[in-house]
Amino acid sequence: MSAEDLENYETDMELQLYREYRDVVGLFSYVVETERRFYLANHVDLQARSADGEVYFDLTLQDAWVWDVYRSARFVKNVRVITFKDVNVEELPRNEELSLPKDGDLGDLGDLGDLGN
């Protein structure tokens, strides 16, 4: 297998993973980023803890999806991560919060063509 073949394979795998992410993101409530992984989850429990003067994070996820090209099964029932690095938890907007106007009217945005005049 040549380096180009390997690169094409990895590119195809990333594209498949992105498509899977796009298809499942609406099923989850939270996006969670750690230094090693990216997760979608429906329940997140993040606790800051300390031991020997060091602060670390104890993260528990339930009903999760893992962004990882090399995992054959990306849906996980329970995940526990312990890390000294940053953890980012973001609540995803619900589908009803992201909606376009029903009649297609974008308000004053239709007048953007007049900006140069």
Each residue of 9-67: pLDDT tens digit? 889 999 999 999 999 999 999 999 999 999 999 999 999 999 999 999 999 999 999 99
Average pLDDT for 65-83: 93
- CA dist 40 and 54 (Å) reads 28
Give the residue extent of every domain in the chain: 3-91
The vertex-69 CA angle with 48 and 60, nearest 5°, equals: 20
Rounded CA Rg of the chain: 20
Q: For residue 22, how many C-alpha atoms fall within 13 Å in the half-sphere facing its CB?
A: 6
- CA dist 80 and 62 (Å) reads 9
